[in-house]
Chains A and B, each alone.
Chain A
Amino acid sequence: MKLLEIKNLYVTIDTLDGPLQIIKGIDFSIEKGERLGIVGESGCGKSITSLAIMALLPHKSKVTGQILLNGEDINLFNEEQMCRIRGNKIGMIFQEPMTALNPVKTIGAQIAESLILHRNMKKRQRIYEVEQLLESVDLPVERFGLNLYPHQLSGGQRQRVMIAMAIACKPDILIADEPTTALDVTVQKQILELIKELAMKFGMSLIMISHDLGVIAQTTQKVMIMYAGEVMEQGETSKVFKHMSHPYTQGLFAAIPKPGSSRLEGKKRLSTIPGSVPDPTSTLQGCIFEPRCRFSDDICLKSEPEKSDISPGHHVRCFHPVVKD
């Protein structure tokens, strides 16, 4: 049995202009200790997917399909049961460390919160545990006391506190929603290393959400490329990065600036994907990526592509996958 299995997930949010389909039937699964990356541009549904797993979507949203945690569908759980899963079985790290900590509580108290909630620990044991957690995220207790307030820490240090909070109960799954977007590049690398290390050390599965392909390459084993609420391509990270088959994936990779490709040096412009993400209110027929695709033809306009295998464990949703050898 898989640790987490998502089957045919649809998320619809009611707005004043009518229902918006944000997630359109995605499937994926993750085994114990596996690290999965979700990539896509802003608004493609990466964060909504993770919030759906936590059952923390806004009130006006409807979820259909199955989210199976250890074989049980969490859509059928009530709020009380969900509270026992959040923080305990699934931990989450947020994008913005500056605002994701409560400014009026000490970091020690905030890390201890889920230990009180899920582990019912005595005070002395709790302090010991919090100190261990701070050590494990490389914030030595001698310098970073439990009584510090968030405003006394830097962005990177706060993100480490967030990580300590998320892993306090050693969850089975750790969801990191763009954990390094708000940090500068040197700190980014340290934080990514730390998240990966901790996931491996405690045997946690990791879901890494990012729009940065470099981040995904560094930390994950499997990857899922999302576009406008659909999965375009998914498979093992090494295979997808080597044989990118969907035109969208190719576009994403081509848009990474390469050293020496600046226009000042007389080289060609940075490649882009023409057009922009479709308005979620519009109902397109056919392939969702068709309007921006280089290879589109009649069939793409008329019908939606099904998943097809490139190699075992690597599928793509396209009529004209680019096959390279």
Chain B
Amino acid sequence: MYERFVEVFSHGMKNRNFVAGGIITIAFFGLALLSYVWSPHPIENINISDKLLSPNAKYLLGTDHFGRDILSMLIMGAKNSIIVAFVAIGIGLGIGVPLGLVAASQRGWTDEFIMRFNDFTLAFPSLISAIMITAIMGPGAVNSIIAIGIFNIPVFARVVRGAALNIWKKEFILAALSSGKSKTRISIEHVLPNTSSVLIVQATIQFAIGILAEAGLSYLGLGTQPPAASWGKMLNEAQTFLHFAPQLAIYPGMAIALTVLGLNLFGDGLRDVLDPKLRRNR
């Protein structure tokens, strides 16, 4: 396992996407982890006398209309985005992967049923359905996690099924069947490990989508609720002051764009590294 990690890493260092995306992703995660031990100012502190300041020594990126430190809010917002996207991926993996494996191993009606249900779910635009779900269950971080998670399920189910169908055709599966293993066991012990690389790549991409979705829901006021910070909510609040304090929108906007770009680059690079058939720049 360790050797494999070293191998992937050394190949990755030669891949520009992997390196650039990796650096941004690590910086983003570092920022989020930092929030647990330190942030420049507590974000609950409302200090009207310091409102709408430009960047200065005390407030590195300035303050918003309540006098809150923008850098602190960005750091807390990063943590929030990660938690939401992470748990949403957990939901997608936890339910989507078993569904995909079952569909691939059983084929026939079970497969049809699972995949048509998948298509049904995918047919709804995910953000609009997430809005509907949060509108029904009420706004909040937990509900937005569930709403985003539900839309990760069909994505993972489809990706795993596709990869698993390929694995089921391999001769080592026939060998495993001939040694007396049940289909369930083969799915877990032989098929799943062989689909791990596509899963990792898909998870990185879904991570970026999750962050975007969280920002979107928060922007609409359906995601993270005050006083917790969220990039989407910062954007929403910045809207009012766009003319005389555009930096309020620029910082969170850039944070979202950079993070999503970084994660997508990292995902692309990782796919090239993990799948030798697609490896281009060596």
Contact = CB atoms under 8 A, between A and B. Distances in A.
A134 interface: no
A102 B190 contact: yes
Given A91-B178, A92-B175, A113-B176, A102 B194 contact: yes
Nearest to B167: A102
B180 A87 contact: yes
Given A59-B108, A84-B180, A87-B180, A103 B194 contact: yes
A100 B175 contact: yes
Interface residues of B, number: 18
B175 A86 contact: no
Given A99-B170, A102-B194, A103-B194, A92 B182 contact: no
Interface in A72-97: 79-80, 83-88, 90-92, 94-96
Given A105-B193, A113-B176, A83 B182 contact: yes
Nearest to B178: A92
A99 B172 contact: yes
Contacts of A103: 172, 194
B41 interface: no
Contact of B181 (A83, A92, A105, A166): A83
Contacts of A166: 178-179
Contact of B180 (A59, A83, A94): A83
B14 interface: no
B275 interface: no
Interface-central residue, A99, A101, A102, by most chain B CB under 10 Å: A102
Nearest to B169: A99
Contacts of B179: 86-87, 91, 113-114, 117, 165-166, 168
A100 B180 contact: no
B204 to A, nearest CB: 20
B174 interface: yes
A88 B189 CA distance: 19
B116 interface: no
A165 B175 contact: yes
A99 B170 CA distance: 7
Contacts of A99: 170-172
Given A59-B107, A59-B108, A96-B171, A102 B176 contact: yes
**4 pairs of A and B residues whose beta carbons are closest in the complex:** A87-B179, A87-B180, A86-B180, A92-B178
22 contacts: A54-B178, A59-B108, A79-B182, A86-B177, A86-B179, A87-B178, A90-B178, A91-B179, A94-B171, A94-B174, A94-B175, A94-B178, A95-B171, A101-B175, A102-B194, A103-B194, A105-B190, A113-B181, A114-B179, A117-B181, A118-B180, A162-B175
Given A86-B179, A94-B174, A113-B179, 10 more contacts: A59-B107, A59-B108, A79-B182, A83-B182, A87-B178, A95-B171, A99-B171, A100-B175, A101-B172, A114-B180
